[in-house]
Structure 1
């Protein structure tokens, strides 16, 4: 990981603009999940740290754009770039990171470059779908999971698949592992948005619903509520929740066990990923650690 950080530092320095360096430092402090995944899969490859750095630049760019779209003021518990320096600057910084990542990506073989580049198209499409879906309450589980795959899982899938190609390993099984890791990781995040407190999250609790996002616990809840309660849940969508309304939603979720049902899907996806990687203890451990982040 030290080599990855040095590569990231080098790439940012090559942009040759102090303002970019200053702003990029505000994005530090993430889990570096995608980079760690690449290093574990392709640990013997000399080019693995550079590929990991490229993927982290792409991830950083997507977060910058995501914060602008969501009008988020916090990122990992600190002020977001759009909050401190404005949305225009955040968008331009994201564009710079994307373009720098693509500039470096062309040094890799065609298959790897295409997989990573295609994942950026997919995650951008997923972001657009997410914005569109926030316009009204969504009770369609399949539609939500399709969006989740594009927005969150594709880059993790691409990281695992491209690392496998770099290391001469089976790319299909690693792609499935990355896809399911990405999906289950985000489902757990969706659960934590409801169950964790603001201090732990680094943002207000139940913020997803306030922003108009209907994550799995809300979708499952909608399916089992009576007509009056369905109307009430829909009426609260994309609005600031007072303490009483937030408590009502949580109590209904407890009553109908929609958090548990969401966790079961995350566990199922995780188990499927473990089954294709059962001989790789480190990759199995990543899944087990991730799934324990819940409640």
Structure 2
């Protein structure tokens, strides 16, 4: 089995390239802050979802596009979660809403999701023209947001409902990893077959 750490480092480099490609300086700085704090001492998260997509996939830049999109969506949800929870720090650094403002936090999360969707559109157009990546991602996001809203409203009354919420909130993006990996023509079948069933 290949080490996921190798792919995590690869993804860090790809995210750096993505961040540097953002033309608006303020948005570039905000995206850098989301992913690695103040960058004096980068505080990269696990990047587990995107790294797993790289592990499941073969070579090629298209897999990087999808891995970055998944991480951007995940991090967009994290900055909003921090604001809702009134968490002042993330990974030992100031939370996004603390450094900027609650209003900018909400607006920038929208910017992040729109950037990710743009990458998914690029992927779909470059393949069979069917919007699989977009539809899979939007479905996963809907499950994730529904579960988050339920948890805020405390709409779980027993263990089964609680586990269903946890599966949708945390598991949706991991399931999406398997779905997106299946769309990549160069996916390494031996890697994919050993993991995809566990992700769905």
TM-score bracket for the superposition, by shorter chain length: 0.7 to 0.9
Distance 1:172 1:42 in 2: 11
1:161–1:172: structure 2 CA closer, same or farther, 3 Å change rule?
farther
TM-score (norm 1): 0.54
Cα shift at 1:164? 2.8
Q: Given the alignment, which residue of 106, 130, 149 partners 1:91?
A: 106
Provide the aligned length of Structure 1 versus Structure 2: 176
List aligned pairs for 1:238-249, cutoff 5 A. none
Distance 1:86 1:132 in 2: 24
Unaligned runs of 5+ in 2: 1-6, 37-43, 125-130
Structure showing greater Rg: 1
Does residue 123 (structure 1) correspond to residue 123 (structure 2)? The answer is no
**Structure 1 residue 88: deviation in Å?**
0.8
Matched, 1:22 2:40: no
1:80 maps to: 95
> What's the counterpart of residue 140 of structure 1?
158
**Is there any run of 5+ residues in structure 1 with no aligned partner, and where?**
180-295
> In structure 2, what is the Cα distance between the partners aligned to 1:6 and 1:114?
27
Q: What are the residue-to-residue correspondences of 1:75-224 with 2, within 5 Å? A: 75-109=90-124, 110-133=131-154, 139-166=157-184, 167=187, 169=189, 174-179=195-200
TM-score (norm 2): 0.77
CA distance in structure 2 between the aligned counterparts of 1:117 and 1:6, rounded to whole angstroms: 26
**Greater relative contact order, per chain length (Cα 8 Å cut-off, separation 6+):** 2
Tell me by how many angstroms 1:13 deviates.
4.0
How large is the Cα RMSD of the aligned pairs? 2.4
